[in-house]
Amino acid sequence: MGRRIVTAAGLGLVLLLTSCGPSDDSGDARHAARHRASSLPAARPVPAGYGSRTAGDFNGDGHPDLVLDRLLAPAGGRDDDPGIGIVYGSAHGLAPAARELLTPARNATPTGRAVPAAFDAEAVCDLDRDGFSDLVVTTDPPYDGVGRPPVPVQLLFGSPQGLGTARAVRLRIPDRARFGNEWPDQPVCGDFDGDGAADLAVTASGPRISYLRGPFTRAGAPAAAGAPLAVPGTALAAPGPLAPSSDVDHDGADDLLVRSDAPGRRARARLALGGPRGPLRAGPAASPPGYATVFGSFTGAGRGVTSVTADTGGLLSVGGRPGTIRTGTGGVPTLAAGDTDHDGHPDLVVGGTRPALLRGTAHGLSATVRRLPAPRLPGPGRPHSTVLALTDLDGDHRADLVLLTRRGRTHDRVTVWPGTPSGLAARPALSFTTADFRAP
């Protein structure tokens, strides 16, 4: 297995995304407008699987699933966190009837009698190597401000019945792997030592991380954890759970993208290079300032892997050079790479108020911008579209696009745009609002 870069790609299925990634919302985005009828079909049981190596496959049936975080609350709902939505996959793509709603009351582990008020999806990987992907979430355990805060990260383990049948367990971070008194935050999955097991990295105080080697036990304990590692930044850039891995120098260890500011803010970033002892070595010089970075073969066939960084207005910098491609997407950009037409060259989708597609060619990334139609939502101005995933959902070897389009606190729409021999389809194959997400 070659070195892969763990980087921002938009929960994705950005599903870590945070699942829905940064947006231009003006508020909490957990309220909803009234709907006359649900946009989702009647729920049915999650199809049972036997385990697979497919990324983001919680029920082990060989098909990737979608995580939806920061759902709009149902009409008339309270201000509490409405939970995390899971849409399960099938041989024909996402199947919205096969879905679950994970809530703090039903699926989080309480601290004493305190049920978490927050329940946010952060990362997806198979932590215990059983063939069922697992979901890493963050919560808000009680803390009196004295001494070292508790670990807010919990793990939901996949199973043939999916994620919703059990409660999460707390991630166990040994004291020797912690530093300072900041909350462990921004969990990122990756095989940072190249041994084939998924590891976790979480922030510690200062430019350090707690590096937890996998595999993990069902009690939430890592196989090993040493002293915190120094890294070139204070924030980790989590990938979308179905983001493609990128091989840089074929050393078999994932690399970690580390930022100088929190994800969703404009910042420089550079790599912490993985190796037998984890992501210890600083990688190439910092990338240009921007909001999101993705890696792929963007400079032409046979020229290796390079980065694309999106700055204000979707200005793209390729290979670390100052931005030269103007996409005019507007808003805080998200990025995802995938081969939408199965021609062997990765295409790039840029999210924003005017989302766009740039085609990959044998000579590198095209500068020609194809504007993607965003769903219409009630209200003035342009809504913001976040890239949740750009990956093959239906097994035809063409990447499909999942967008979350949102306006403020009251309206959103998830759309799935299939890949075709000529690129992304002109119309979405699936469309629904997260406000209609219901437990089976």
The pLDDT-based confidence of 165 (bands split at 50, 70, 90) is: confident
pLDDT at site 300:
72
Mean pLDDT, rounded, for 329-336 = 93
The pLDDT-based confidence of 43 (bands split at 50, 70, 90) is: confident
Q: Are 203 and 228 in contact (CB under 8 A)?
A: no
Kindly report the pTM of this predicted structure. 0.90
- Distance between CA 247 and CA 178 in Å, rounded? 30
Mean pLDDT, rounded, for 301-312 = 81
Mean pLDDT, rounded, for 159-166 = 92
Q: Determine the residue type at 286.
A: A
Mean pLDDT, rounded, for 206-219 = 96
**Residue 116 above 60 pLDDT?**
yes
Is the CA virtual torsion 256, 261, 264, 268 positive or negative? negative
Mean pLDDT, rounded, for 357-378 = 92
pLDDT at site 33:
39
Most confident option among 2-16, 75-89, 260-274? 260-274
Range from 34-38, 251-255, 295-299 carrying the lowest mean pLDDT: 34-38
Report CA-CA distances (Å) from 257 to 4, 15, 235: 11, 18, 9
The pLDDT-based confidence of 301 (bands split at 50, 70, 90) is: low
**Residue 170 above 60 pLDDT?**
yes
pLDDT at site 164:
87
**Residue 7 above 60 pLDDT?**
no
The CA dihedral of 102, 107, 108, 113, to the nearest 10 degrees, is: 130
Mean pLDDT, rounded, for 380-400 = 93
Instruction: Please state, for a pLDDT cut of 90, what percent of the chain lies above it.
Output: 63
**Residue 31 above 90 pLDDT?**
no
Q: pLDDT tens across 404-418, in order?
A: 999 987 899 999 999
The pLDDT-based confidence of 223 (bands split at 50, 70, 90) is: very high
The pLDDT-based confidence of 438 (bands split at 50, 70, 90) is: low
pLDDT at site 347:
95
pLDDT at site 10:
34
pLDDT at site 240:
56
Angle at 111 between CA 106 and CA 115, to 5 degrees: 40
**H-assigned helices in 320-434:** none
Mean pLDDT, rounded, for 164-174 = 94
The pLDDT-based confidence of 356 (bands split at 50, 70, 90) is: very high
pLDDT at site 77:
53
**Residue 362 above 80 pLDDT?**
yes
What is the average pLDDT score of the chain?
86
> Which of the pair, 85 or 245, is modelled with greater confidence?
85
Range from 19-23, 77-81, 169-173, 189-193 carrying the lowest mean pLDDT: 19-23
C-alpha neighbours within 13 Å on the C-beta side of residue 412? 30
- Distance between CA 347 and CA 392 in Å, rounded? 13
- Distance between CA 213 and CA 206 in Å, rounded? 21
The pLDDT-based confidence of 178 (bands split at 50, 70, 90) is: very high
- Distance between CA 246 and CA 7 in Å, rounded? 10
The pLDDT-based confidence of 307 (bands split at 50, 70, 90) is: confident
> Which of the pair, 216 or 147, is modelled with greater confidence?
216
pLDDT at site 27:
39
> Which of the pair, 427 or 74, is modelled with greater confidence?
427
pLDDT at site 320:
81
Q: Are 318 and 327 in contact (CB under 8 A)?
A: no
Q: pLDDT tens across 120-160, in order?
A: 999 999 999 999 999 999 999 999 888 899 999 999 999 99
Q: CB-based contacts of 157: which residues, under 8 Å, 6+ apart?
A: 127, 128, 130, 132, 134, 163, 166, 169, 218
Mean pLDDT, rounded, for 416-428 = 95
Exposed / middle / buried, residue 240 (Cβ in 10 Å: 0-12, 13-18, 19+): buried
Quick count: other Cβ atoms within 10 Å of Cβ 322? 9
Mapping DSSP to helix (H, G, I), strand (E, B) and coil, where does residue 353 land?
coil
**Residue 67 above 70 pLDDT?**
yes
